[in-house]
Amino acid sequence: MSVRNPLRLLNLAGKSLLTNEALAISALEYLPIELFPPLFMEAFYGRHRKTLKALVQAWPFVRLPLGGLMQTPHVVTLQAVLEGLDVLLTQKDRPRKCKLQVLDVRNTGQDFWRMWSGSSVHVSSSSSMAPTAEDGPRIEKPLVPFEVFTELHLKERTMSEFLTYLLKWVEQRDHFLHLCCKKLKMVSFPMDNIMKALSMELHVNCTWHLSTLAMIAPLLGQMSNVQKLFVSHTHLPDPEEWNEQHIVKITSQFLRLHHLQDLHLESPLYLEGCLDQMLRCLMNPLDNLSITHCLRTDSDLTHLSQSPNISQLKSLNLSGVTMTYSSPDLLPALLEKVSATLQELYLEQSGIRDSHLEAILPALSHCFSMRGNLLSMPIMEKMLQNTSELPSLGRELYPDPQEGFSSQGILQPGRLAQCWTELLEILKDLGCPRTIWICFTPCPHFGDNTFYHPESIIYGGNIPG
């Protein structure tokens, strides 16, 4: 024992009890609540399976944040905990002291263990140290049936031993408990395992062919509590294999997603010309909408601007949605619809021309990014003058002016440098107090991306936060 960091009496008591596991188990009924967390930690890291099983059956808290102790998933300790839960789930009358209603195997709950142990020696680190949103209401009103919280990232052809054991255990006891997963990411995962996972009401971020997405769409519709949905890189079938019913089957599921707030559709080529089918099925206003890297017709943009469920958007991302040949009146109408609430606007690589930008200048009052669009020097100057007068404007990301390229679209470093020299002089004359990031196209003279602000040049590959 270190003289500088002596163990607390509670920790010493836990270590002492575990020298005689039978005594520790028999004493649980009489132990004060304060001793349970440090004793559980000692039993967990010492692999005392019998004590872990007994501690679960007498756990005096509503939630057991098991994941906060696991730097890597460990099947043996999980088995001991689940064996203890099995005893609880089959009992008509629980032990008087036991309050357990939620097992949390996510990487969260570290604050709980720190508070009760007075030490963070064994507790695994996490980027999110605050209690989860569910903690408050569940403590006040325990839920029945029992709940198991997890987050799943399925990246291999087969599931890990830990996950396989957990899902099998839950499936065999689905009448007694709910498996709750707020994040599920699947990459290169077999369809039979996907169907099995979704049947347990998990939230999904998927990458599939259109026919596959249509196949699992009814299961997505069962996730009535889903708040965020990401659908990325859905591949279109060959023309002879196109089936309109796939679109109907997918879009109709939004009628059942009553809590959806964030919708992110990456490369949704299957919605070209029929975006209105999906918009009509949205059940409530969205907070964030992202439709990227696809073709949209004028009718799609018109239906989007007329949808009542975009009127409260905080963030709109239409990057990669080609607007070169769309009517200049459509984008202003859309931004006017969301002007009261919009805080972020992304229109990167959207083929926006001077006529489009001049029409939406009044709407650029918050954070925006225009990278990847070719705009002329006069419209760039006008944009800088317009935004310099807006005190509420956040970060701005500008593209390179088209005068920095040849008529064949080839970058001319000398011309581009001259263009930015002139724009920087304009910024200085405006006395703009904010930082304005200007994304410089990669070229041999300057290496990777170069970022300017009014006083200096910053070289690097990433935009500073």
Tokens of 458: 């910053």
Phi-psi region of 231 (alpha: psi -120 to 50; beta: other; left: phi over 0): beta
**Nearest CA-CA partner of 429 in 437, 417, 421, 438:** 421
Measured distance CA(398)–CA(415) in Å, rounded: 17
Phi, psi of 230 (to 5 degrees): -115, 125
pLDDT on residue 285: 95
Say which amino acid occupies 318: L
**Nearest CA-CA partner of 291 in 273, 270, 268:** 268
Measured distance CA(358)–CA(356) in Å, rounded: 6
Cβ–Cβ contacts within 10 Å for residue 145, how many? 12
**Nearest CA-CA partner of 183 in 224, 130, 228:** 228
**Averaged pLDDT score across all residues of the chain:** 76
63-77, 138-152, 163-177, 235-249: least confidently modelled range: 138-152
Measured distance CA(214)–CA(159) in Å, rounded: 24
**Nearest CA-CA partner of 69 in 138, 20, 119, 29:** 119
| 34-76 pLDDT, tens digit each | 888 888 988 888 888 898 999 999 999 999 999 888 876 678 8
pLDDT on residue 143: 39
pLDDT on residue 437: 62
DSSP-H helix ranges across 307-412 = 330-338, 354-360, 377-387
Cβ proximity of 32 and 85 under 8 Å = no
Q: How confident is the model at residue 157 (pLDDT cuts 50, 70, 90)?
A: low
pLDDT on residue 122: 44
Burial class (CB in 10 A: 0-12, 13-18, 19+), 400: buried
8-12, 187-191, 404-408, 449-453: least confidently modelled range: 449-453
Instruction: Give Cα separations from 159 to 165, 194, 211, 257 (angstroms).
Output: 10, 11, 24, 28
Q: Bridge partners of 265?
A: 231, 291
Say which amino acid occupies 331: L
User: 């760039």: which residue's tokens?
Assistant: 380
User: 């409260």: which residue's tokens?
Assistant: 312
Q: How confident is the model at residue 3 (pLDDT cuts 50, 70, 90)?
A: very low
pLDDT on residue 263: 92
| 340-395 pLDDT, tens digit each | 999 999 999 898 889 889 889 888 877 888 888 889 999 988 888 887 777 666 67
Q: Bridge partners of 453?
A: 456
Cβ–Cβ contacts within 10 Å for residue 186, how many? 20
Residue 458 has pLDDT above 60, yes or no: no
Q: How confident is the model at residue 304 (pLDDT cuts 50, 70, 90)?
A: very high
